[in-house]
């Protein structure tokens, strides 16, 4: 299947060979690399992107879930164009920051908010806020959940051998993760064992979206909230991804009130902006001489104005209805493909996003996820790329539908997916049987 990819992307190969001399793996983020070399894109418009070879793709990765407004959204372009004429960064506080803070506070039912630029920054600050409030050190995170690239939470994100605590990068000293506790998602028993009075907070993706897309056991979620109240630790929802999947994010979907919430990705229409929000008594600890929070590019005018437009004019409730409907068409189409081809394929969708697993059932946690044979997925992925569809960002990612996608885009996605799944089945069927046992 790689030959299909390499025959269509010779200029990406050339760029890779040149770029890797100056950037490790030729990219600016590890998550953009895949074998044998990454794809280099030149532009995007609506539901589509183009690479350096001129190939056009219907994009269901959308910047790893950022661009629900679509590429080069006309309203965002207009707003950013007007904003940049008045200065891209002003140093002191921008006059429209409070307006955006009010919009987000009301939409997500948060008492107060602070702005940063990325999800990594926001989760780093959020655990500091939790420690300051509780006067405790330990943070619980779940295996397979991703909360950015800072040392304290870059633990058991994608371990090859799940179970024991292990940093997800070289260069992270044991001391940096000494106060990080790792446990299993959707497992009440394992959570009860680590939830105690020494814990400052538990941080989670309220719907796991970095090991594919895994449904949340609502009884488990309820137990987490109950134990947090009993033991006195905080609940942090990392909604960097999930916050843009429903109008009021996962906290609105599950009708719960976490102590702290992180938002990012989709909320600023493609510009860098993240939010740490939560209960007033926690947020009011922030300030000079108290809890540190800063950042030169926090709430820059371009991101603030793009976010106001995104949340008030573009990602409206009717927009979510439209995206969910198209996403449901994808889910239904994948199920029909699996049935028609007679393959073991499970599908889970949540709002505008969904994942497929070449497995008879959707996994419940990382241990089940990592036990899946991923080789059919790569056959499917390179086939769909060759057919002009980016189905999702990786085997541990999910599709996302934007307001710019059409029913015709969905049909083409499913046509490409069917071809990829068929080829994956053929390869598996024709694999030689090892009789050495």
Single out the catalytic residue among 138, 141, 245, 265: 265
Rounded to whole angstroms, what are the CA distances from 180 to 134, 153, 166, 201?
Answer: 16, 7, 10, 10
Residues in CB range of 163: below 8 A, 6 or more apart: 143, 367
Distance (Å, rounded) from C-alpha 77 to C-alpha 99? Answer: 20
Closest CA to 6 of 38, 49, 28, 48: 38
Report whether the peptide linkage leading into residue 256 is cis, meaning its omega lies within 30 degrees of zero. Answer: no
* Whether 108 is catalytic: no
Distance (Å, rounded) from C-alpha 122 to C-alpha 262? Answer: 6
* Structural contact between residues 43 and 49, judged by C-beta atoms closer than 8 angstroms: yes
Edge-first strand listing for the sheet containing 389-390: 41-45, 48-51, 56-59, 389-390
Single out the catalytic residue among 238, 348, 357, 380: 238
* Whether 146 is catalytic: yes
* Whether 138 is catalytic: no
Closest CA to 235 of 223, 243, 245, 249: 223
Single out the catalytic residue among 37, 133, 146, 380: 146
What does the longest C-alpha to C-alpha distance in the chain come to? 72
Q: Which amino acids are annotated catalytic?
A: 146, 238, 265
């Amino acid at each position: 299947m790689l030959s299909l990819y390499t025959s269509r992307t010779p200029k990406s190969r050339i760029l890779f060979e040149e770029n890797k001399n100056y950037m490790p793996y030729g990219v600016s983020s590890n998550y953009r690399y895949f074998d044998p070399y990454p794809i280099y894109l030149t532009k995007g418009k609506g539901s589509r992107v183009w690479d350096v070879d001129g190939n056009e793709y219907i994009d269901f990765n959308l910047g790893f879930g950022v661009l629900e407004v679509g590429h080069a959204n006309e309203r965002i372009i207009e707003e950013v164009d007007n904003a940049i004429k008045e200065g891209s960064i002003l140093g002191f506080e921008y006059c429209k920051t409070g307006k955006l803070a009010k919009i987000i506070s009301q939409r997500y039912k948060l008492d107060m908010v602070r702005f940063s630029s990325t999800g990594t920054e926001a989760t780093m600050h959020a655990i500091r806020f939790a420690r300051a409030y509780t006067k405790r050190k330990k943070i619980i995170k779940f295996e397979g959940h991703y909360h950015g690239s800072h040392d304290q939470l870059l633990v058991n994100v994608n371990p090859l051998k799940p179970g024991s605590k292990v940093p997800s990068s070289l260069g992270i000293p044991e001391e940096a993760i000494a106060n990080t506790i790792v446990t299993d998602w959707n497992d009440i028993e394992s959570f009860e064992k680590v939830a105690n009075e020494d814990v400052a907070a538990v941080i989670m993706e309220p719907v796991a979206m970095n090991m594919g897309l895994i449904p949340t056991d609502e009884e488990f979620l309820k137990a987490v909230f109950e134990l947090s109240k009993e033991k006195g630790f905080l609940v942090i929802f990392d909604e960097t991804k999930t916050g843009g999947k429903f109008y009021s994010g996962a906290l609105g979907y599950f009708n719960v009130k976490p102590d702290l919430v992180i938002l990012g990705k989709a909320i600023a229409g493609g510009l860098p902006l993240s939010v740490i929000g939560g209960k007033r008594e926690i947020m009011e600890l922030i300030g000079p001489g108290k809890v540190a929070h800063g950042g030169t590019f926090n709430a820059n005018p371009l991101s603030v104005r793009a976010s106001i437009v995104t949340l008030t004019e573009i990602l409206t409730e009717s927009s979510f209805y439209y995206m969910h409907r198209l996403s449901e068409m994808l889910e239904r189409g994948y199920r029909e493909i699996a049935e028609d081809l007679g393959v073991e394929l499970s599908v889970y969708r949540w709002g505008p996003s969904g994942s497929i697993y070449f497995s008879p059932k959707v996994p419940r946690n990382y241990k089940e996820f990592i036990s899946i044979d991923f080789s059919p997925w790569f056959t499917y992925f390179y086939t769909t790329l060759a057919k002009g569809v980016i189905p999702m960002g990786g085997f541990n990612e999910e599709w996302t539908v934007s307001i710019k996608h059409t029913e015709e885009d969905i049909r083409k996605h499913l046509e490409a997916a069917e071809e990829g799944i068929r080829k994956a089945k053929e390869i598996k069927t024709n694999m030689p049987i090892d009789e050495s046992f």
